[in-house]
Amino acid sequence: MALRTGKLPTALLVQILNNRGARDPRVVRGPGIGEDAAVVKIGGVMLVLKTDPVTYAENLVGWYAVNINANDVVTRGAKPAWFQATILLPQGSEFGLAKSISKQISDASKKLDIAVTGGHTEVTPGIDHAIVIGDMHGVVLGSRPICTSGARAGDAIVMTKTAGIEGTALIAREKRDELLMAFDARFVDRAADYLFKPGLSIVPEAMAALRFGVSAMHDPTEGGIAMGAEELAQASGKRVEIVLDEVAVGEETEMLCAKYELDPLGLLGSGSLLATFRPSDAERYVQALKRMKIQASVIGKVLSGKGRSRLVSGKKVIPLSSSERDEVLKVL
């Protein structure tokens, strides 16, 4: 079977995730659909382990690697602490590229109070741009980790910021010259700046969620908010209902999606957090984030029983459409 670019289909991924090596009772949370990171217990400490590559972006690839890995660690209720990376450079690269990527990694790590503990750098045949594979570790802050599988029937689903944050910035940065033929420079600059405003990091809002009885957290990446919601449902053995009108989409995201005929809900979603709470706690959490100047809203709920998740649009109730293949791949 020939595979398409992007995440593996869930049915195939399950087969890979069953290859778990030796049994180890210290593994609290191992591989699983929708689970953002692993958890192991060593003595009285629970460590969170995560690895994730950055393959789309050429600009700020080191900065991306730190932030996307930190996002997955923090969804376990852990403080990101240690980072190392494998930096793969295409043949013919200048040493300045390696220095630039390593400085991006260091600067991003300093901002999140993360130590860079090592890594590996090499020039590799067969690639045409730099790839950074990150490895992040952290320590669970409370008495238990937060897992994507923890969503409960009746929980409210909160989404922070807006849909398609990373996808919007990526398209604006990679297609700048093309976009300047259709939009003015200020518009393209605003879209490119989505990495910083509203921002790719979900560390502040995920840390805040721990104060409000959060039951599950998930970082939607490939496949966007729609795929993230479906992974939340699959991991917890439930269904979800998403209310379309409650899903915030930035103006720049809407306009780029209209130009390229993309679905904002399926656009690369790093920068937004999906989190589940009891309904009253969800409202308190949303209000707390507003005081922190972070946009958030309740976008749906967790339903009991397995089955097809659904999308509510006005008076219509339709199956939630999701795909592992991100909308951004139609453009890049």
Number of domains in the chain: 2
Residue-level pLDDT at 2: 86
Q: How confident is the model at residue 10 (pLDDT cuts 50, 70, 90)?
A: confident
More confident residue, 9 or 230: 230
The answer to whether the beta carbons of residues 16 and 8 sit under 8 Å apart is yes
Q: Residues 81-108: pLDDT tens digits?
A: 999 999 999 999 999 999 999 999 999 9
For residue 171, the model assigns a pLDDT of 96
Cα separations in angstroms, 212 against 15, 282, 283, 289, 292: 36, 8, 10, 11, 15
CA distance 295 to 290: 6
Q: How many CB atoms lie within 10 A of CB 45?
A: 9
CB 7 within 8 A of CB 322: no
pLDDT in tens, 237-285: 999 999 999 999 999 999 999 999 999 999 999 999 999 999 999 999 9
* pLDDT band per the 50, 70, 90 thresholds, residue 18: confident
> What average pLDDT does the chain have?
95
Q: Are both 169 and 99 inside the same structural domain?
A: no
| Residue 30: pLDDT over 80 | yes
Distance CA 297, CA 276 (A): 11
Tell whether omega for the bond before 198 is within 30 degrees of 0, i.e. cis. yes
Shared-domain flag, residues 313 and 191: yes
Nearest to 315 by CA among 262, 244, 249, 255: 244
Q: Is the alpha carbon torsion for 274, 279, 281, 286 positive or negative?
A: positive
CATH number of the domain encompassing residue 325: 3.90.650.10
**What percent of the chain stands above pLDDT 90?**
87
**Which residues in 211-245 are b (16+ Cβ under 10 Å) and which e?**
ebebbbbbbbbbbbbbbbbbbbbbbbebbbbbbbe
pLDDT at residue number 119: 96
Same domain, 61 and 156: no
Q: What does the DSSP assignment read for 72-114?
A: HHHTTTEEEEEEEEEEEEETT--HHHHHHHHHHHHHHHHHTT-
Q: Mark whether 56 and 153 lie in a shared domain.
A: no
Q: Is the pLDDT of residue 65 over 90?
A: yes
Let me know whether 100 and 199 are in one domain.
no
Structural domain ending residue among the three candidates 85, 118, 140: 140
Instruction: Please tell me the distance from the alpha carbon of residue 109 to that of residue 307, in angstroms, as a whole number.
Output: 40
Query: In the Cβ-directed half-sphere of 50, how many Cα atoms lie within 13 Å?
Result: 30
Question: Do 173 and 192 belong together in one domain?
Answer: yes
Q: 267: closest CA among 201, 331, 184?
A: 331
Select from 140, 166, 190 the last residue of a domain.
140
Q: Which residues pair with 241 in a beta bridge?
A: 301, 310
What per-residue confidence (pLDDT) applies to 84? 98
Regarding whether 209 and 95 lie in a shared domain, the answer is no
Of the residues 140, 160, 183, the one at which a domain ends: 140
Is residue 205 assigned to a domain?
yes
Expressed as residue numbers, the domain containing 49 is 36-140
Confidence of residue 11 (pLDDT cuts 50, 70, 90): confident
Q: Please check whether residues 136 and 156 belong to one and the same domain.
A: no
Q: Which helix (H) or strand (E) holds 64?
A: helix 61-74
Whether 253 is in a domain gets the answer yes
Nearest to 73 by CA among 57, 52, 96: 52
Q: How confident is the model at residue 298 (pLDDT cuts 50, 70, 90)?
A: very high
> Pairing between strand 115-124 and 78-90?
parallel
CATH code at position 48: 3.30.1330.10
Backbone angles phi, psi at 166, to 5 degrees: -65, -40
CA distance 24 to 214: 28
User: 9 pLDDT band (50/70/90 cuts)?
Assistant: confident
Please calculate the CA angle 96-186-221 and round it to the nearest 5 degrees.
65
121 and 156 co-located in one domain = no
* 11 falls within a domain: no
Both 116 and 259 in one domain: the answer is: no
Within-domain flag for 247: yes
Q: Please report which confidence band the pLDDT of residue 142 belongs to, taking 50, 70 and 90 as the band edges.
A: confident
Specify the pLDDT at position 325. Answer: 86
Verify that 193 and 228 share a domain, yes or no. yes
Q: Looking at the structure, do residues 100 and 181 belong to the same domain, yes or no?
A: no
Residue 6 pLDDT level (bands cut at 50, 70, 90)? confident
Would you list the DSSP string of 283-301?
HHHHHHHHHTT--EEEEEE
Query: Which tens digits make up the pLDDT trace of 43-62?
Result: 999 999 999 999 877 789 99
In a domain, 30, yes or no: no
Q: Give per-residue pLDDT as tens, 151-199.
A: 999 999 999 999 999 999 999 999 999 999 999 999 999 999 999 999 9
pTM of the model: 0.93
Q: For the chain, what's the residue count? A: 332
